[in-house]
Each structure stands twice: as C-alpha cells, then as structure tokens.
A and B are shown apart, each in its own frame.
Chain A
Amino acid sequence: MSSDPDKMMSKADKMTKLTLTRWSADWRGATELYEQAANGFRASNKYEKAKVALEKASKGQEMQASPWDAAKHMESAAALAQKLSIWNEVADFYRKASELYVECGRAQPASDALGKAARALEDVKPDDAIQLYTDACEILEEDGRDQMAFDLYRACANVYIKLEKFTDAATFFLRLGVAADKCDATNSQCKAYLSAIILYLYAHDLQQAEKCYNDCSQIDAFLKSDQSRSASRLLTAYNEGDIEEIKKVASSSTVSNLDHMIIKLARKLPTGDVTTIQMNTNDDLDEDDLT
C-alpha cells in the first residue's frame, strides 16, 4: 500500500470500477483505501480531496451494508464541507447521514446530525436551517424522545426571532409546550408559554397575546405557575397602559429565567405606544355600547 493518498485514491477507484477483468467491485478493500486516503488528505490539509475521499468511503460502507460507518463518514465529510463553506453540500451530507442513522434505527444521532447542519446554516441560510430543525424535531418526536427536542425548538425559535418573525417563533414555543406536556416537564412548558406571550406582546399583538394566555390557562400546570401570574400581570399592565408595571414585570426574576433572547425582547417592552392599544380596546367597548 503506497502512502500517497492520491495513489490510494486512484487504486481504490480502480477497484470499484467494473471492467472485463473485474466482475464485482471490491468494496471492502476500496473502502479501506478511501479511508486511509482521506486521513492522508486531512493531515496535509487538502480538505477538498479529503471530503471527496470520505464521500466515497461512505458509499463503500453503504455497499457493505454498514450504515453506521457510512453515516459516520458522511458526517465527517459534511464537517469538512462546512469548513470549506460549501453550504448546499453541508446540508446534503448531513441529511444523508441522518437518513443512514435512521436506517440504523438510531434517532438521536440522526437528529443530532440535522441539528448540526441547522446550526451551521443558521447565519447563512436561515430558512434551510429552520427546515432542518423542524425535521430534527420530527424525528425525535416520532421516536418518543420529546425531551431532546426542547433545545432544538428553542434554537429554531431563536432563528425566527433573528429573522424578526415573531409569530412564527411564538408558534414554535407553543410546540415546545406541547412536547413538554407529553413528558410532564411543567417548568419548561410554563416558560415556553410565557415566552410565547411575550413574543406576541413584542409584536404589538395584544389580542393574540390575550388569546394565547387564555388558551394556555386551560392547562392546569400553567395556571398554577409563577409564569402565568407574571403573564397576567403583564397583560393587565398593558390593558391599563401602565408602563412602570410592564417594566417591573419585565425585570422580575420569572422573566429573567427565560431564554436570553426573550429576556432582551422583554426588556424592550413596551414596543410602541401602550396608550394606543388601550384606546383601541376602549373603542371596542364603545361600539358595543352603541349596539
């Protein structure tokens, strides 16, 4: 075996190509060569070639019906692609790896792979990142491991907040609440609901926030929690246009235990003019009186 990775690569390629002399590809030998070549390339910082070698190694493992190793190689390839900033390849490789993990029946690594992909793409392609996060959460939920999904939901909501799509972020927090409900994680659930309400208020949507609060109050665990008390204080402060009270609630310890993005938004409350919100609600009452 020559130590030159290029030579190894060419040799391995020859082994896999079907010719007249070769009737069946020798995947085992080829895979070994590919792996060694990839190591050699990585040592010499030729990441592009290493990536190609890993891809082929993964294919070889797949052919040998060992999806675990195949997935592992795919992940390494994806990491290299990330280093090279080839973003669509990153997404593709991680997806492939995730599928292979699912083939093995291992949901956790699958969703981990998608999570890694999403994190890599957060800044560059946020929509893809969101899609990846959603898929990762679905995989976990199918497997019944909802608790692992919390972090993913939170990360996804953070991406939405960065994109300033607050209602979408709130939706994700509510999904977090559902997942938390399934595994009786009441603290996370209540925090998720409070975060959703704060997001609605930040988006200047008092009606939605109140509706959300009413919906969440149907849930016993939330109703009895500190978070629901803070939420009701916040909503009454908004209804009365009491800015001092809003600021007091926003700096209370209950809010300070949420995600740091939410804390930042809460400190910026109230957005816009609270009195206009108040006026709107008063107008509604007047209309009712007339009828």
Chain B
Amino acid sequence: MSSGPLIEIRRLYKSYTRGGQAIPVLTDVSFEIGRGEFLALMGPSGSGKSTLLNCLAGIDRVDSGEIVVNGQDITLLDETDLARWRSRSVGFIFQFYNLIPVLTALENVELPLLLTGLTRRERREHAAAALAAVGLSDRSDHYPAQLSGGQQQRVAIARAVVTDPDILVADEPTGDLDRTSAEEILTLMNRLNQELEKTIIMVTHDPRAAQEAHVLRHLDKGELSRAADTPGR
C-alpha cells in the first residue's frame, strides 16, 4: 500500500441550486488527508463543512474535481459501487447518533455486517466485540430509547468501526451531548485513531473537540485554510 496520503482532494467544486439559482458551497477546494490523521474541520455555520464531509464519505456528489482514496477516484464510481465502497471503507458517526429505533444495541452494531459475507454467528461475534470495545456489552439488548445520548453515540461508534473501515467521518459527534459525555466520546475517538489507526475526519463547532485532533482546518465561504495553530499532541 502506498505511503502517500490516504485521501487527496483536488479542485473540488460543489454548488446547490435553489430557485433556479446556483449557490456555490465549495469552490476549488484541494487538500490531502494523511493515513492515520485525525482532522478537525471547523468554520462558521453554512460554510460547507457538512457538504465537504458528505462528498468525502461518498454520500453526496461533487460538481467537479477528484476525491482519490487509496488511489481510487470515488467521484467516478456509480451508485452501486459507491454504496459498496462506503460499506467497506467508511464508518459514519452522526450528531444525532442515527441508530435504528427498532433494533437493539447489538443489532444496530450488526447492521453494517449484513452487507458482508459473514455468517450470522460471525456477525454476532464481531458486533459483540465492537460493543465491548465501547464498554457497552451489558447493554446489548437495550433499544436506543433505553440508552442515554452518550451511550447511543458509543453504540453508533461501535457500528461505525465494526466493519473495520479505514475512514471514520463524524459530523458534530458531540453536538448533542453534555460535556462529560462529549469528553467520553472524544476520548473514544482518540483511542480509535491511536490504537486502531483509523483516519478520522470530524466536523465540529466545539473548540475542545478540535483540540483532540492533530490537524485543524477552517472552511470559510467554501474556501479552505489550514489553521495556523494546528493543535499538537
């Protein structure tokens, strides 16, 4: 595997049309994300952070430009291939956890594994292991509504890592949590980055959250800048 950057973004353009008028969101964005990097993306509301993250994660389409991950330009994949790529390469962590309410914690974690060739038993084992890794083995049979916000987010993190993807994307993962839970989540994410060498891209408004990251980038009016004071660890 190449030792270069994991993700290369080149000349990315993205606009939304509203009322027949094109509103540019990302204009000529280019940057690289190294393997094993923990990147925090900050910027004012409406600056296009989520849009950029969604494009990187392969759930939104760009107007032009390239997103090369592991040597493969994902903007060229058709919908089916892109879905398969996501299921193997990306773990999602959402602000509102996005667990499936009718599935238990364990079943939620197992969900992405349904897209793999694993047997039922292997799936259960993997899911249980992931749930154990976030410290929620004793909550396997709980439904999301029976868990606190922090616990739900930990289940969501277990779901994000259960397929062992290279990349984790997190859009304001602590945005809906109290400070203590937020700290827990950030510590967990840091461990995933350190121990499992996950490349993490996290959008956040929270300076404390950004502090956990290695690299900090600011997005303003669709243009990207590397923060002068990238937090060191």
* Physical interaction between A and B: no
Name B residues whose Cβ lies closer than 8 Å to a Cβ of A.
Answer: none
